[in-house]
Amino acid sequence: MKRDISNFRKTYSKNILNEELVSDSPLILFDEWFNEVHSSNDGSETNAMTLSTIDDHGFPKNRVVLLKFYSDIGFIFFTNYNSNKSISILKNNKVCISFFWEELERQVIIKGVANKTSSKISDDYFNSRPFGSKIGALVSSNQSSVISSRTVLEEKFNQLITEFSEKKITRPENWGGFCVIPVEYEFWQGGDNRLHDRIRYSLINNKWKKERLSP
């Protein structure tokens, strides 16, 4: 099978990024971009981000997770602590998260270190989830492990629905958040003729250094 997609090509022209006009704080710029993307899209998940980790064999692995909170402290997502990603993070907590926001021709790449969130943060978020999502977290108690069929999941789901119909579901200990504390941000804005704007913020001696990168 061979498919030639070399003519798939788009011009980018929605915006420019001027290093003199953007904030000295990457978090403020992130927040501005996040809000602009969120208000310009039609319900797609602005908070979906690609999380990259390094496995035991040195291979990177990317997957999408949902950003749930961001602040001066970091970027928080939730997952199963037995999953492949968590096992990788617990051995090497240097990670990369990135966002591709096609509607505004933007990409943000953040390198940082990930640490488990406090039990309180994980509890508060778990408790705010809908019933079905809580049950889902219990069903997939060993996220990333091999299972024999979908039926196994459905049977467990139905059994847990009955078991917890009148009981409070508390957060399983192996489920919770990670907070990614950034050390570098890169903001990419697609430009005409491939003259894209790239502004990198690097954390040096506790201060953000802003630089323009060649596209």
Give the binding site for ligand FMN (CB under 6 A). 45, 48, 61, 63-66, 77-80, 83-85, 143-144
CB 203, min distance to ligand FMN, A: 25
What the block records as the tokens of 7 is: 């003519």
CB 78, min distance to ligand FMN, A: 6
CB 65, min distance to ligand FMN, A: 4
Give the span between the Cα atoms of 179 and 75, in whole angstroms: 5
- Torsion angle in degrees (nearest 10) through CA of 208, 117, 176, 100: -10
CB 21, min distance to ligand FMN, A: 32
Known active-site residue 9: no
- 136 vs 169, beta carbon nearer ligand FMN: 136
CB 152, min distance to ligand FMN, A: 17
DSSP 122-191: HHHHHHHS-HHHHHHHHHTTTTTS--S-HHHHHHHHHHHHHHTTTSPPPPPTTEEEEEEEEEEEEEEE--
Give the span between the Cα atoms of 68 and 76, in whole angstroms: 6
- 65 vs 104, beta carbon nearer ligand FMN: 65
Give phi and psi for 122, each to the nearest 5: -65, -40
Q: Which of 3, 9, 150, 194 is catalytic?
A: 194
Find the helix or strand (DSSP H, E) in which 63 lies: strand 60-70
- 68 vs 156, beta carbon nearer ligand FMN: 68
Give the span between the Cα atoms of 111 and 52, in whole angstroms: 9
What the block records as the tokens of 124 is: 């508060």
- 61 vs 212, beta carbon nearer ligand FMN: 61
Residue 77 pairs in a beta bridge with 67, 178
Find the helix or strand (DSSP H, E) in which 106 lies: strand 106-116
Catalytic residues: 194
